A = this chain, B = another copy of it.
Amino acid sequence: MLAPAFSKETDTLLAQARTLCDRRGVQLTELRRKVLGLVLEGDKPTGAYDLLDRLRVHHKGAAPPTVYRALDFLLEQGLIHKVERLSAFVGCIHQSEDEDHHHAAQFLICQRCGQVTELEDPRVDRALVEAARELGFRPAGSTVEMEGTCAACAAAPASAPAPG
């Protein structure tokens, strides 16, 4: 079970995650750290079974529950998000603050290049919370995703979709 080699950026984010978990008194175990690293390394959302395959390289005997339990932990801690439309996971780019565990995020999904952009637009969240409040609905969590064409792909000619 050698530690997988992550990029410098990922290592930085992992160090932040470690600090965050320490402050919260929760355990960022080696397994969870590995899974978080794999999610962060991907430049696009990564499916659970894709993560499982990569995990197995250094973590022999990993099974679906192995990765799903790690993902559950990371979701709870707000270190990753699930993109529902893709059934896939991305690292949260708004961590590092020791605010509340989760935050209201929005995702822009490019149908052409697969790139996903995370937003944290207060106007969007405010509008949604307000609409819910008017109906007496108490919000606990939201999923906001928009599919379409990203700026790069909209500018590129039809035959050359912007690379991943």
Contacts and interface: CB of A to CB of B under 8 A. Distances in A.
Contact of A127 (B108, B110, B124): B124
A146 B102 CA distance: 14
B151 A146 contact: no
A127 B137 contact: no
B143 A149 contact: no
A47 to B, nearest CB: 15
Nearest to A150: B137
Contacts of A110: 137
A141 B138 CA distance: 26
A140 B149 contact: yes
Most buried by B among A123, A124, A141: A124
A135 B148 CA distance: 12
A154 interface: yes
A142 interface: yes
Contacts of A97: none
B148 A128 contact: no
Nearest to A136: B151
A84 interface: yes
Contact of A138 (B84, B135, B137, B148): B148
A132 interface: yes
